[in-house]
Structure 1
Amino acid sequence: MAAGKEMVLYYQPESDKQKGNDTKAAKMKAVLVRMGIRIKNISQEQMGQTVGYLAGLEGFEEQEAEVCPPVKEEVLVMKNFSNARLDEFLMSLRRAGVERIALKAVVTDTNCKWKLYDLYQELVKEHEVMSKREQK
């Protein structure tokens, strides 16, 4: 994956916005601005688009809108982060008081071809597996 400007794709469910959980999003956006990281807010309607298209990668075009089931959890997808910057970003979120975002990923050569909804489903599965391991 070619290096370039860091970017975060952020999906926040409508239910969170309605519950007034915008303070979490505002804290996160403040961290992103401070660190000079671009943010792209993703809507439910965009969940059927490829990760590559949403992340602005060359060779990916907008797809015919596909209706996906409602996504009820936050999703954070990071692009062009070095390991050090990724650690710095996650630490900055913690310091800013941003509650844990369980479903996180980085853009890879594999998942950039997936629809964001498919990546979301994969993250949910991984999170369930990790949660079960932590409980043991």
Structure 2
Amino acid sequence: MKTDAQILMYNFKEDERTRQISRYLNIAGISCKTVPVTDYLHPLGYLFGLTGFSPSPQFNLGGNFSDEMLVMHNFSQEQQTDFLGFFHRNGLAPVDLKAVLTPVTQHWSSLKLHGELSKEHTLMHKK
């Protein structure tokens, strides 16, 4: 069952957890792309193949992050709920940094989104 849903994955290790996530996405018909560090400056809209977006002319000379991040696009509410519940149902560690592509964030680079999600995550988990 192929859908229009797409997901970008960052910094996932080649391990059993990642294989389970990939299997889930494949069965659900969700297109998945692993984003290499060399693409971190391109607009998210470009990485998702949206019309009107071009690659960044800049080279990524050191901008990087090592934590996992997911960006979802064209997920229905049901797909999003089921995907996020998949981690809990299977006893898998959750992904702390995740986002849904928006009209604003489609213009952002992966580095900018990561920075914003990291700030939000830190604020939400402050004691």
Fold equivalence (TM over 0.5): yes
2:26 maps to which residue?
33
- Give the deviation of 1:22 after TM superposition: 2.1
Partners of 1:83 and 1:46 in 2: CA distance: 28
Partners of 2:5 and 2:88 in 1: CA distance: 19
Partners of 2:51 and 2:104 in 1: CA distance: 15
1:54 maps to which residue?
47
Long gaps (5+) in structure 2: none
TM-score by length of 2: 0.89
The secondary structure found in structure 1 opposite 2:8 is: strand
The aligned amino acid for 2:78 is A
- Give the deviation of 1:12 after TM superposition: 1.1
Long gaps (5+) in structure 1: none
1:12 maps to which residue?
11
Partners of 1:111 and 1:29 in 2: CA distance: 24
- Give the deviation of 1:56 after TM superposition: 1.1
The aligned amino acid for 2:74 is N
1:122 maps to which residue?
116
How does 1:93-132 map onto structure 2 within 5 Å?
Answer: 93-132=87-126
> Retained in 1: the 8 A contact 2:64–2:111?
no
The aligned amino acid for 1:70 is N
RMSD: 1.6
- Greater per-residue helix proportion: 1
> Retained in 1: the 8 A contact 2:97–2:118?
yes
> After superposition, what is the alpha-carbon deviation per residue over 1:80-118, rounded to whole angstroms, capped at 9, x for unaligned?
012121001111232233311000000000000011110
TM-score by length of 1: 0.84
Structure 1 stretches of 4+ moved >3 Å: none
The aligned amino acid for 1:91 is G
Question: How high is the sequence identity, in percent, across the aligned residues?
Answer: 32
> Retained in 1: the 8 A contact 2:41–2:110?
yes
